[in-house]
Structures are given as C-alpha cells and as structure tokens.
C-alpha cells in the first residue's frame, strides 16, 4: 500500500495438491476398465492472486496452474476490473466466477470437502463457473445479500472449440438472507437462478452435455452424464438452499431443478427435459473456532485457529468432521427424447476430516462411496454397462496466503 492509501498491490496464493485413489471401483464383467487409478496425484488449484488497487478501482488477475481432473495445463481463474465506490457494493466486469449460491460463495480454500456437490458444479457451470465473462455486481448488508450478472463465454471456450460461431449468453442471480441470528444460532436462507439464454453454437450445432466425475478430482472417468443433448434452445436452473448453525454444528442443504428447452423448429421436435439434484451436509468442529457466517459473501467460512499448532504447549489448531449425502439425477424421458443417449443418476456419500495447524495450512482427508446407475448410450457406455459403484480415499495439502 502507498503512504496516501490510494494504491495497494498484493500477491496471494491458494495451493491445493491431492493424493489418493480408488478401491473396488470395478469394472464389472463386460465393462471396460475406465480410469480409476489406485494411487495418483493431482495439483487441484495453484492460484496466484495478483491484485492492484487504485482508490475505488480494483484489478484482479489470477493464473491457475492446477486442474480439476489431470494437472499439466495452465489457465486463468479470473481477470477482472471492479469498482467499489458504492457502499457495500462491488461492480465487476471481466473474467470472473459469479457466485450463485452458498457453495459457490464459499472460497475454494474453505470447502468442507474436496469438491462441491455435483449438482452445484453442474448448475454453476451453465452460465457461471470459473473465468466466465461477467458484467454485474453484488451488494451485501448484515442480514442479506443480492448479486446478479450478465454472462458470456468462458476464458478459452473458443480456443478449445475453434468452430464456435455464436457465443453463449446467460445470467446468474442470487439472493441470500439471514432471518435469525443469535450467539449460538445462524439461520441462512438462499435462492438461486441461472440461465443460458443460448449455448455456444459450434460445428455440432447448439449441443450441451451435463457430466461430472464423482466429486473426486483425480482425473477419473466421468460416469455421470446426461448424454450429448442436441438442439438446445435454453437451459435454466433454480432452487432454494437452507443452512443452520447451532453452536459448533453446521447443517446445509440445497435443491436444484434444471430445465433444458429444445429448439422446436425441426419436424420432429425434441422434448424439454428436467433434471434434479440435492445435497445435505453436516459439519462439526471438534476443536478450534467453529465455522462462522461471513455477511460480506453470505457464506459460512473455514474454522478458525486460536493458537497455532504447538504440541509442547498443548495447542492443536482446529479440527472439523463433515458428512455429506449428494444425489444428481440426469435421467428424464427414455433416450432423453432422442436416440443413442441416455442420462443416469449418481449418489455420493462422503465423510471428511480437516485439520488446520494454523490459519494458512490445511490437511484434508476424504472418504467417499459412490453409486452410479448404468449408461445405455453415449461415450461412457462401454465403461458403465451395468452401473458402477466404488470407494475413494483422498488426502489434500493446502496452503493459502
């Protein structure tokens, strides 16, 4: 920061590296193996946060050397310009991650588990997600927050697919409230809506596929898929969320409905489709300061460390235990109304332990059991003829500055 406070510059870090693997993940007879590594490693996030401020203007550029599946590529988390001249308000333009719900508003260094629930990841990537071109803003008060963004393409969309001749437009809306607050209790209520007015038009037309791995970021084959949905006119999603903190205990849950409208201009128009997903997560802070509510982002944040880890003085940092049930159903009508594809369903049970020796370091250990229904069409058909289930155990090392 400069002496007159007009200027500041900072460099921050979020480093997350994962090691773990899959046990008992098949294949069943007649299925091909799929990529379920017994023991492997992945750089999940290696973000360098560069921030320049001049008076009310803030520029952020954040390269990311990590990957949500297999590391080795370099990308961008965000690059945007912000105006903070209005009270409790941030106006943003540029590549950004518009926050549509509590799980997106939590910073990725603060998650209870390695990954967000699948349904949240699928919905946020419709018109939001990492490095989405956004124009909009967020306003918060102590008891509520509202955010809205007009959005375009993601950074790199058109270099990954050079046949895109018409780019996506969309929007993300969030309202969040905190109707009851006391020393021991935080009640949180939220509502989210997002839409892609149109999706990218490439040489394959306006096609969209919902697909995700099993909430484990080790590059495994994505078994869950809606199939490649063709002639997509519009996609939208909306849903409520609820959270309750009672002393050291935090309960969260969210439901999303996803609607896919098709282009009805053809002679044999494809039907509209509806998908659903939800999660319920419970968290208990065994020692350390429990997860608390941050009004500025309308989200619960990471446990606090009161005294840094120091066994000689009986200081142990913070430790929290979490459990989650997450269901995503991408199956609607048979063959999704067309031919050659289908959708399927995924259920994930997850348990996790997070230890914070101090405010900058975190070690995570997650166990997951997943169950995925079979695929009768599409690219992952051969890997998932009979439905698959399995287990994963993954540890994460995290440093944030």
Q: Name the residues that contact its own copies, by CB under 8 A.
A: 9, 11, 13, 15, 17, 19, 33-43, 46, 48, 50, 52, 54-55, 57, 59, 61, 63, 65, 67, 70-76, 79-81, 93-95, 133, 152-153, 155-160, 162, 164-167, 169, 219, 308, 357-361, 397, 399, 401
Query: Is the CB of 142 or the CB of 310 nearer to its own copies?
Result: 310
Residue 312 C-beta: closest distance to its own copies, Å? 11
Query: Is the CB of 36 or the CB of 300 nearer to its own copies?
Result: 36
Q: Report yes or no: 376 and 6 within 8 Å, Cβ to Cβ.
A: no
Query: Is the CB of 90 or the CB of 153 nearer to its own copies?
Result: 153
Residue 294 C-beta: closest distance to its own copies, Å? 22
Q: Which of 188, 217, 192 is nearest to 123 (CA)?
A: 192
Query: Is the CB of 292 or the CB of 395 nearer to its own copies?
Result: 395
Residue 221 C-beta: closest distance to its own copies, Å? 10
CA 125 to chain centroid, in Å, comes to 8
Residue 187 C-beta: closest distance to its own copies, Å? 35
Query: Is the CB of 208 or the CB of 325 nearer to its own copies?
Result: 208
Query: Is the CB of 151 or the CB of 254 nearer to its own copies?
Result: 151
How far is residue 275's CA from residue 259's CA, in Å, rounded to a whole number?
7
By DSSP bridging, strand 169-181 and strand 224-229 are unpaired
Residue 296 C-beta: closest distance to its own copies, Å? 23
Residue 5 C-beta: closest distance to its own copies, Å? 14
Residue recorded with tokens 């540029």: 94
Residue 163 C-beta: closest distance to its own copies, Å? 8
Query: Is the CB of 60 or the CB of 373 nearer to its own copies?
Result: 60
Query: Is the CB of 35 or the CB of 347 nearer to its own copies?
Result: 35
Residue 96 C-beta: closest distance to its own copies, Å? 10
By DSSP bridging, strand 299-301 and strand 292-294 are antiparallel
Residue 383 C-beta: closest distance to its own copies, Å? 12
Query: Is the CB of 45 or the CB of 324 nearer to its own copies?
Result: 45
């Amino acid at each position: 920061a400069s002496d007159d406070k007009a200027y500041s510059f900072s460099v921050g870090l979020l480093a997350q590296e994962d090691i773990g693997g899959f046990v008992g993940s098949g294949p069943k007879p007649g299925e091909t193996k799929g990529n379920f590594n017994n023991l492997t490693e992945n750089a999940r996030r290696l973000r360098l946060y560069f921030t320049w401020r001049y008076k009310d203007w803030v520029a952020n550029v954040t390269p990311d050397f990590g990957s949500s599946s297999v590391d080795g590529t370099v990308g961008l988390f965000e690059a945007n310009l912000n105006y903070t001249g209005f009270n409790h308000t941030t106006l943003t333009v540029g590549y950004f991650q518009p926050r549509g719900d509590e799980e997106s508003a939590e910073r990725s260094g603060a998650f209870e588990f390695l990954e967000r629930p699948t349904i949240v990841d699928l919905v946020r990537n419709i018109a939001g997600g990492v490095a989405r071109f956004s124009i909009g803003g967020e306003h918060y008060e102590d008891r509520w927050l509202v955010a809205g963004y007009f959005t375009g393409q993601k950074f790199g969309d058109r270099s990954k697919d050079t046949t895109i001749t018409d780019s996506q437009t969309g929007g993300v809306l969030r309202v969040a409230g905190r109707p009851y607050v006391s020393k021991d209790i935080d009640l949180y209520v939220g509502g989210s809506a997002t839409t892609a007015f149109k999706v990218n038009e490439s040489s394959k037309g306006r096609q969209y596929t919902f697909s995700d791995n099993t909430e484990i970021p080790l590059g495994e084959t994505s078994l869950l898929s809606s199939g490649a949905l063709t002639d997509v006119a519009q996609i939208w999603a909306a849903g409520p969320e609820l959270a309750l903190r009672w002393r050291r205990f935090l309960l969260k849950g969210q439901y999303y409905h996803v609607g896919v409208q098709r282009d009805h201009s053809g002679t044999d128009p494809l039907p509209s489709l509806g998908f659903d997903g939800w999660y319920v997560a419970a968290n208990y802070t065994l020692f350390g300061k429990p997860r608390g509510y941050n009004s500025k982002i309308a989200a619960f944040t990471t446990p606090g460390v009161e005294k840094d880890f120091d066994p000689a003085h009986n200081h142990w940092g913070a430790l929290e235990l979490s459990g989650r049930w997450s269901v995503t159903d991408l199956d609607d009508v048979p063959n999704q109304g067309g031919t050659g594809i289908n959708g399927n369903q995924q259920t994930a049970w997850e348990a996790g332990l997070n230890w914070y020796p101090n405010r900058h370091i975190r070690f995570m250990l997650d166990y997951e059991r997943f169950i995925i229904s079979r695929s009768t069409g599409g690219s992952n058909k051969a890997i998932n003829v009979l439905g698959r289930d399995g287990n994963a155990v993954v540890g994460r090392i995290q440093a944030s500055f």
